[in-house]
Structure 1
Amino acid sequence: MAAIRTNWQNIRQYIWLVGGLLCLVIAVIFWAVTDTKELVTVENPIEETQVQIQPEKVAATAHLGALMDEVRPLEMTTRVVTAGNHDAEFRGTKFFQENKKAWTIELFKASNEDVIQSFLQKQADRKNFIYFRLSGENQTEQYVLAYGLFKTDDQAKAQLQQLNLKLPASIHPQSIQFEKYSALVNDLGADEMASANKLYEVKLKSAPLPVVDETVLAQAKSALSSLTNSSGANNETTKTTITRRDASGKVVDVQKSNSTTQTSSGTKESSGAATEKKPIEHEVSDPFN
């Protein structure tokens, strides 16, 4: 009886084992059938967060007090005068402002000013030639040679057909308006510098010396001598004696002084008077005695 029970238990265990294996196989088959999509890898990139730094606003004042005299403010509107000797045909900002709407013939461009100066020296008539310098942040420094000043584009093109400058075949002149280059020109032209440093000519003429009349000079000398003789003064001497006496009438002190005065001879009318007069004596007594 016990053996039959043991066999039955073994059979039950085998049945459960086989059932579990069958369930496992069915689950694997079902997973293989249903899982037809490819595995997609999703990557989440790490975003770098940039810290936004806000600059602190600093209150600025227009007047810095004593620093205004020591550190002068930077003037951004100051025009630049390029170093070197420019020819009389060099033009600057003032010329472009006055002729902004006018047209001209652009002959060629050069990076060196000497090229344009040597070309101008070979020309017999340099009256209508001008040249200027182009410069800026995004502009390389260049010198442009132009010809003429015209009101319209048609006039510039008509003059271009008549020019005979014998330029190389690689150079193609064209008509342009000055307004095209006005923002790239920031120089002082030769015409402005010439007006600021004007030279004035001083003409000196010889002035003739006045002719002296000897007769008039002799008359003046004689009149002067007669005037001095007529106004000659005679000397008159005055003798003064000061006598001091005491209470009893005795002479205590005697002081004498001489004084000379000039009197005009015209005021004296004495025909029979002597030429020499005796000195006049004045005696002064002490009024307290």
Structure 2
Amino acid sequence: MKRGAGMEDVHLHLKNLGFTDLEAKCLHVLAENGTQTGYEIAKQLGVSRSNVYSALQKLAEKGAVLTSHGEPTHYQSVPIEEIGERIEAELQASIRYVKAHMPKQGAHRSEYFSLEGDAKVIERIRTELKKAKEEALCELWSEEAQLLKEALRQVPAQGVRLLVSTIGEAELPSGAHRFQHGREEGWQKRNGRKFTLLIDRKLAIVGTRGGDEPALAMMTEHPAMVELLLNNFFRDVVIHELQQDMGAKLEDKYGKNFKKIIQKYTEMKMMDPQPEDVGKSLEVKSSEGKSAEGKRRKKK
């Protein structure tokens, strides 16, 4: 072990390899000082000899230390390279066994699973893109497209169709079908940049990154969400094609990004009757009522 490496960090990684805290400390002392007795190690660590001897016995059983014959018993650490190779071989053997004998997950993931934190969200997206067998539909901002650049590059290489709708300039792999949208910088920073992915028209992933809140994502195989993302994606594709062919005419008639159409159905004041209209309506009804009443009186 290198001198200068943080002792706590070394202990942490040794524990990640399956050693207890005391076993890690004993290994560190032996690697640093060479052959030692249990008494010497206990003295340096300030730990009871019985606990140290128990830890050393476990290390010997794991093949991490060598023991001498005679009294007192001396201990020597096996080179860390040798320990690492043995652990790696055992780990690989365990992984192969579990893959072969673990029950296969056949359940449909119709529940909604949540992910929080940038590392978890991005790693899950990369993992699911690797699993794609037929098609991956992605709607991404340029920042997320850049972050997922390598994972996206692998998709066409797997023989999978890749369609990407991007917001802003983004470099995409050859073989990807790209639909680029103009970027409006007025996005709400606190809400983050929204992204969606649909893998094999089966798994839906929806999330946000880049806002004031941590990265968040939701994934599900629920048919309703899958259909919603599918329809939304291909609606954007149709609009993209229309804008490519008739962009100037569409903008003149409907405004940029069809805002005039959207406003007609989203602005409540345009859908609700105005107060003055209501007043006029009441006046008309009142005059009509008075006129009818006058006619009845004349007849009498």
Output the TM-score relative to the length of structure 2.
0.16
Output the TM-score relative to the length of structure 1.
0.16
Q: Which one has the bigger helix percentage?
A: 2
Q: Which has the higher contact order (CA 8 A, sep 6+)?
A: 1
